C-alpha cells in the first residue's frame, strides 16, 4: 500500500523527464541505429526468417522468378515486346527493394531495443561475490556461481551480484543502471517495498546481507535484456488474426492473377510471367505486411520510453483492449503525501491531550502520515512521558487500518480509521459510547476529502487527526479522456465512504469502493472480468501480487516487492502509479495504428487493381478502360510497383510513432479511420501512379 512506501513520491518536474530524455538519446545514436538496420535488412533476407511473414515471402519468391526471367526472358514461354531484359531487370530490382524496405522497417523498430540491450549488458559483467557460508565464514566466489537461497555480504562500492532480498542492514543503492535515475535509493530489511535489490546495481554507503532470489541468467536485468531485444516477442493474438486475414487476401489475389492469362488469351492480349508477378505483388497487402511487426515492436518501445518494461507485446496490446482501470486513491489519484493538518478534541479532552496521545501512537510509524503527525504534535509541544525503548510498535496494516504503540505501563495508544478505532474501543468497553462530536469531526474532515484518523488511549477516544491530501492536478481531464475512449475507472481505497465519495466526485472516476481490504482488490477485478471486461491495475506490495496476476494488465512498481514484480506483466521503473493511464493510451494507439495502416494498405491494393488491370487489356482495343491515360502497359506496371515499394519506407515514421491519437471510443475511431485512411488509401495510388508514370516516361524507361 502507498502509505507504507518510504521512497519519495515521484515528482512531476520537467527536469526529470529531460534527464530521462537525455539518457535515451545518449544510449541510442540515431545514425548507428540506421546503419545497423540497413545491415539487418539484408540479414533478414535469409529464408529462415523471411518465411515468418507470408506476404513478404511471396514477394521474395516473385523476385527470384523475375530474376530468372531477366536472365532468360523466354524460359517461361513465348513473349513479345522489345527491351524485355531491361524491363524484367527493373521489375526484379523494384521487387528486391520492396522486400528490403519491409525488412528495414522491422530492423529499425528493433534497433532501439537492441542498443538498449547492449547498454544493459555492460552493467551485467561478472563480479566477485562475498558468499556467507554456513559456518559464518566468507568465501569469495564468482557471481555466476550464486544460486537461489545463497546469502551474500555487500558493502559500499560493491556491485550487487544478483537479485535478492535484504535480510539485514540498511544501505543506499545506486539503481541508475536500471532506472536511469541518479538519486540513491534506500534499501532495508523488513520493509515491504524497499527490501528487494537488483543484481548489477551498486551499493553507495553502508552494508547489507542479501538472500539471493534469482539463479544466474534469470535475474531482472537478464529479463530486461531479453525483453528489449525482442527475444521473447511472440505474435499477439490480434497480430495472428491479422496475419491470417492478410494470408487469405493474398490467396484471393493469387487466384485473381492466376486466372488472368486465360482471359488475356481470350481477348488476344497475352501477359508475361513477369507482369503477372508484378501485378500479384502490387495487389497483395504488402504495405501492412511489411509494417506489421514494426508497429508491434514500436508499441513495446514506446512503453519502454516511458520507463516501463513490458514482459511481452501481448501485454502492451492488452492495454489497448482494456475496459476497466482499477486505481488506488492515495498516491495515484491524490498526491499521496497526506499531512497532518490539525487535531480535533472530543468530549472533555484538550487539543494538547489529543496531540500527546497521537504522538505516543506515532513514534514508531515511519509512513509519511506517521511522520507528519509526529511533526505536528511536537510543534504543539506534545511530549512522550514513557521510555520508548521499552515500548512496543504495533505496525499499520491495510487490514486492521490502524497502528500504534503498546506503552511500558500496559496502556495501548492507537490511531487509525475512525471505524477501526471505534471497533478497538468497543472491544474493551463491551459497548458503544455515543460520540456525536466524533461523528461530526469525522464527517467534516471527510467532506473536505481529507482522511480522519481517530486517536485512542485504551478505552477512550481522545479526538481526531485531520490528514489532508490533494487531488493531482489534471487528473480529472485524464479520466475524462479515458471515458471518451470507453474505459471505466474504479477507485479503490481503504479510506472511509465519505472521503472516498468526495475524492471520487472531484476526480471524476466512474465508480469507487471504500473501506477496501487488499482482498477486495482481487474480487473487484474478478467481478469485472466475469462481466467480460479486460482489467488493468497497479500495485506494489506483496499482497498486491495475486491481484496483479489476476488483472489482464498488471503494472508493478519498481520499488515494489519481488513477488509483485513477478506477478505483473509490466514493471514501472519510475514507480509512478499514474503511468497506467499513459500505458493504456499507448496500447490503444498501437491497435489504432495497426487498424489504420491495414485499412490504408487494403484500400491501396484495390485502387491499384483498377489502375493497372485496364491498361493490361489496351492492346485488345479495350483502351477506353485506360481512364488514367497511362503511357503503356509497361509503364503502368512499373509505376504501380514503384509506388508499392516506396509506400513502405514512406510509412515507417507513422508505423513507429503511431497515428495521431484522439480519445474516442473504438466505434468512433473505426468510423473516422475508415474515412481517413480508407478514402486516402483509395485516392493516393491514383495520384502517385500517374505522377510516377509521367516521370518514367520522361526518363525513357518505358
Ligand X SMILES: Nc1ncnc2c1ncn2[C@@H]1O[C@H](COP(=O)(O)OP(=O)(O)OP(=O)(O)O)[C@@H](O)[C@H]1O
Binding residues for Mg ion (CB under 5 A): 1-3, 330
CA 549 – CA 565 distance, rounded (Å):
10
E-state strands within 519-629: 535-539, 553-557, 570-572
- Residue from the set 343, 396, 479, 512 that interacts with ligand X by CB under 6 A: 396
100 to 119: interface string for ligand X, x by CB under 6 A? --------------------
Q: Does 493 bind ligand X (CB under 6 A)?
A: yes
Q: How many residues lie near ligand X (CB under 6 A)?
A: 23
First to last CA, the chain: 71
279 to 318: interface string for ligand X, x by CB under 6 A? ----------------------------------------
Question: What torsion, rounded to 10 degrees, do the Cα atoms 448, 451, 452, 458 define?
Answer: 180
Q: How far is the CB of 673 from ligand X (least distance, A)?
A: 37
> Strand order in 488-492's β-sheet?
308-310, 570-572, 553-557, 535-539, 324-328, 488-492, 511-513
Name the segment binding ligand X (CB under 6 A); options: 56-64, 170-178, 280-288, 327-335.
Answer: 327-335
E-state strands within 525-654: 535-539, 553-557, 570-572
Q: Which of 301, 321, 328, 605 is catalytic?
A: 328
Degrees to nearest 5, angle at CA 250 with 249 and 255: 100
Q: How far is the CB of 90 from K ion (least distance, A)?
A: 17
CA 519 – CA 524 distance, rounded (Å):
9
Task: Report the 10 Å Cβ neighbour count for 475.
Answer: 21
CA 182 – CA 201 distance, rounded (Å):
11
Grid cell in block for residue 342: 490539525
Pinpoint the alpha helices (H) of 129-230: 176-179, 220-229
For 136, the 3-state DSSP assignment is coil
135 is catalytic: no
- Residue from the set 451, 562, 569, 589 that interacts with ligand X by CB under 6 A: 451
Residue 416 interacts, among Mg ion, ligand X, K ion, none and using kind-specific CB cut-offs from 5 to 8 Å, with ligand X
Residue 594 interacts, among K ion, ligand X, Mg ion, none and using kind-specific CB cut-offs from 5 to 8 Å, with none
Q: How far is the CB of 5 from Mg ion (least distance, A)?
A: 8
In eight-state DSSP terms, residue 471 is B
Grid cell in block for residue 653: 515514421
- Residue from the set 328, 540, 576, 693 that interacts with ligand X by CB under 6 A: 328
Grid cell in block for residue 337: 503525501
Name the segment binding ligand X (CB under 6 A); options: 125-133, 394-402, 501-509, 693-701.
Answer: 394-402
CB closer to Mg ion out of 203 and 398 = 398
Q: Does 541 bind ligand X (CB under 6 A)?
A: no
Q: How far is the CB of 2 from Mg ion (least distance, A)?
A: 4
For 354, the 3-state DSSP assignment is helix
Q: How far is the CB of 459 from ligand X (least distance, A)?
A: 18
Q: Does 143 bind K ion (CB under 5 A)?
A: no
* Mode of pairing for the β-strands spanning 535-539 and 511-513: unpaired
Return binding residues. Answer: 365, 369, 396-403, 415, 540, 544
Return binding residues for Mg(2+). Answer: 540, 544
- Residue from the set 4, 103, 213, 286 that interacts with K ion by CB under 5 A: 286
Contact (CB, 8 A) for 412 and 458: yes
Q: How far is the CB of 170 from ligand X (least distance, A)?
A: 20
Q: Does 329 bind ligand X (CB under 6 A)?
A: yes
Contact (CB, 8 A) for 515 and 494: yes
Q: How far is the CB of 101 from K ion (least distance, A)?
A: 12
- Residue from the set 103, 195, 337, 403 that interacts with ligand X by CB under 6 A: 403
CB closer to ligand X out of 469 and 605 = 469
Q: Does 330 bind ligand X (CB under 6 A)?
A: yes
Q: How far is the CB of 331 from Mg ion (least distance, A)?
A: 7
Q: How far is the CB of 421 from ligand X (least distance, A)?
A: 9
- Residue from the set 50, 105, 453, 482 that interacts with ligand X by CB under 6 A: 453
CB closer to ligand X out of 402 and 645 = 402
Contact (CB, 8 A) for 583 and 315: no
Grid cell in block for residue 700: 525513357
Q: Does 522 bind ligand X (CB under 6 A)?
A: no
CB closer to ligand X out of 333 and 641 = 333
In sequence order, which residues have a C-beta less than 8 Å from that of residue 658 and are 6 or more positions away?
A: 298, 299, 302, 586, 589, 590, 592, 593
Show the 3-state SS of 386-449: CCHHHCEEECCCCCCCEEEEECCCCCEEEEEEHHHHHHHHHHHHCCCCCCHHHHHHHHHHHHCC
Q: Of 340, 363, 381, 346, give the one whose Cα is nearest residue 456.
A: 346
Q: Does 495 bind ligand X (CB under 6 A)?
A: yes
- Residue from the set 212, 246, 303, 402 that interacts with ligand X by CB under 6 A: 402
Name the segment binding K ion (CB under 5 A); options: 72-80, 281-289, 355-363, 515-523.
Answer: 281-289
Q: Does 417 bind ligand X (CB under 6 A)?
A: yes
Q: Does 401 bind ligand X (CB under 6 A)?
A: yes
Measured from each CB, the residue nearest to ligand X is 494
Return binding residues for ATP. Answer: 365, 369, 396-403, 415
The sign of the CA dihedral 424, 427, 429, 431 is positive
CB closer to K ion out of 567 and 641 = 641
CA 257 – CA 279 distance, rounded (Å):
7
Helix 54-71 and helix 286-305, axial crossing angle in degrees, nearest 10: 130
CB closer to K ion out of 575 and 599 = 599
Pinpoint the alpha helices (H) of 44-155: 47-50, 54-71, 84-122
Q: Which residues bind K ion (CB under 5 A)?
A: 286, 605, 644
Q: Which residues are the active-site residues?
A: 328
Interface residues with ligand X (CB under 6 A) are: 1-3, 328-330, 365, 367, 369-370, 396, 398, 401-403, 415-417, 451, 453, 493-495
Amino acid at each position: 500500500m502507498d502509505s507504507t512506501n518510504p521512497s519519495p513520491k515521484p515528482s512531476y518536474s520537467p527536469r526529470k523527464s529531460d534527464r530521462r530524455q537525455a539518457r535515451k538519446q545518449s544510449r541510442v545514436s540515431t545514425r548507428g541505429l540506421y546503419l545497423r538496420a540497413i545491415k539487418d535488412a539484408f540479414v533478414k533476407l535469409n529464408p529462415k526468417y523471411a518465411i515468418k511473414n507470408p506476404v513478404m515471402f511471396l514477394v521474395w519468391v516473385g523476385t527470384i522468378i523475375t530474376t530468372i526471367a531477366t536472365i532468360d526472358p523466354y524460359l517461361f514461354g513465348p513473349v513479345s515486346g522489345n527491351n524485355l531484359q531491361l524491363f524484367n531487370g527493373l521489375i526484379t530490382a523494384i521487387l528486391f527493394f520492396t522486400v528490403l524496405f519491409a525488412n528495414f522497417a522491422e530492423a529499425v523498430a528493433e534497433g532501439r531495443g537492441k542498443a538498449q540491450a547492449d547498454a544493459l549488458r555492460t552493467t551485467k559483467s561478472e563480479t566477485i561475490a562475498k558468499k556467507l557460508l554456513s559456518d559464518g565464514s566468507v568465501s569469495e566466489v564468482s557471481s555466476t556461481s550464486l544460486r537461489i537461497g545463497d546469502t551474500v555480504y555487500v558493502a559500499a562500492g560493491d556491485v550487487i551480484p544478483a537479485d535478492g532480498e535484504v535480510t539485514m542492514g540498511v544501505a543506499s543503492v545506486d539503481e541508475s543502471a536500471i532506472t536511469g535515475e541518479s538519486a540513491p535509493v534506500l534499501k532495508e530489511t523488513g520493509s515491504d517495498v524497499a527490501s528487494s535489490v537488483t543484481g548489477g546495481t551498486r551499493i553507495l554507503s553502508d552494508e547489507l546481507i542479501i538472500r539471493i532470489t534469482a539463479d544466474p541468467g534469470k535475474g531482472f536485468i537478464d529479463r530486461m535484456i531479453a525483453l528489449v531485444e525482442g527475444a521473447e516477442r511472440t505474435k499477439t493474438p490480434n497480430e495472428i488474426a491479422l496475419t491470417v486475414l492478410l494470408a487469405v487476401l493474398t490467396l484471393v489475389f493469387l487466384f485473381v492473377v492466376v486466372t488472368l492469362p486465360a482471359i488475356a488469351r481470350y481477348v488476344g492480349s497475352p501477359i508475361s510471367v513477369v507482369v503477372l508477378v508484378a501485378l500479384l505483388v502490387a495487389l497483395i497487402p504488402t504495405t501492412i505486411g511489411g509494417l506489421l511487426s514494426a508497429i508491434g515492436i514500436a508499441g513495446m518501445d514506446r512503453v519502454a520510453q516511458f520507463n516501463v518494461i513490458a514482459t511481452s507485446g501481448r501485454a502492451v496490446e492488452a492495454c489497448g483492449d482494456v475496459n476497466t482501470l482499477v486505481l488506488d486513491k492515495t498516491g495515484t489519484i491524490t498526491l499521496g503525501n497526506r499531512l497532518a493538518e490539525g487535531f480535533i478534541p472530543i468530549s472533555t479532552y484538550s487539543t494538547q491531550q489529543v496531540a500527546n496521545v497521537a504522538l505516543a501512537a506515532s513514534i514508531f510509524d515511519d509512513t509519511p502520515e506517521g511522520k507528519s503527525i509526529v511533526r505536528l504534535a511536537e510543534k504543539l509541544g506534545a511530549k512522550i512521558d514513557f521510555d520508548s525503548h521499552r515500548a512496543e510498535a504495533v505496525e499499520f496494516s491495510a487490514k486492521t487500518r490502524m497502528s500504534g504503540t503498546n506503552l511500558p505501563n500496559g496502556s495501548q495508544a492507537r490511531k487509525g480509521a475512525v471505524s477501526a478505532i471505534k471497533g478497538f474501543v468497543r472491544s474493551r468497553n463491551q459497548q458503544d459510547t455515543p460520540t456525536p462530536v466524533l461523528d461530526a469531526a469525522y464527517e467534516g474532515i471527510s467532506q473536505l476529502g481529507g482522511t480522519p484518523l481517530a486517536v485512542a488511549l485504551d478505552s477512550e477516544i481522545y479526538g481526531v487527526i485531520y490528514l489532508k491530501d490533494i487531488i493531482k492536478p489534471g487528473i480529472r481531464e485524464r479520466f475524462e479522456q479515458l471515458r471518451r475512449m470507453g474505459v471505466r475507472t474504479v477507485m479503490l481505497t481503504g479510506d472511509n465512504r465519505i472521503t472516498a465519495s468526495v475524492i471520487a466526485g472531484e476526480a471524476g472516476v466512474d465508480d469507487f469502493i471504500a473501506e477496501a481490504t487488499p482482498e477486495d482488490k482481487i474480487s473487484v477485478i474478478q467481478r469485472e472480468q466475469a462481466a467480460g471486461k479486460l482489467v488493468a491495475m497497479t500495485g506494489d506490495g506483496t499482497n498486491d501480487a495475486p491481484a496483479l496476476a489476476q488483472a489482464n494488465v498488471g503494472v508493478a512498481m519498481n520499488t515494489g516487492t519481488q513477488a509483485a514484480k513477478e506477478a505483473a506483466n509490466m514493471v514501472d521503473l519510475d514507480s509512478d502509479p499514474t503511468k497506467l493511464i499513459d500505458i493504456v493510451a499507448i496500447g490503444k494507439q498501437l491497435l489504432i495504428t495497426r487498424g489504420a495502416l491495414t485499412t490504408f494498405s487494403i484500400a491501396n491494393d484495390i485502387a491499384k487493381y483498377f489502375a493497372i488491370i485496364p491498361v493490361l487489356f489496351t492492346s485488345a482495343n479495350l483502351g477506353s478502360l485506360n481512364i488514367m491515360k497511362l503511357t503503356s502497359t509497361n509503364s503502368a506496371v512499373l509505376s504501380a510497383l514503384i509506388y508499392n515499394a516506396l509506400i513502405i519506407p514512406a510509412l515507417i515514421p507513422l508505423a513507429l510513432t503511431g497515428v495521431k491519437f484522439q480519445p474516442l471510443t473504438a466505434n468512433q475511431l473505426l468510423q473516422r479511420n475508415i474515412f481517413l485512411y480508407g478514402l486516402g488509401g483509395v485516392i493516393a495510388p491514383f495520384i502517385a501512379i500517374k505522377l510516377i508514370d509521367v516521370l518514367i516516361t520522361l526518363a525513357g524507361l518505358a
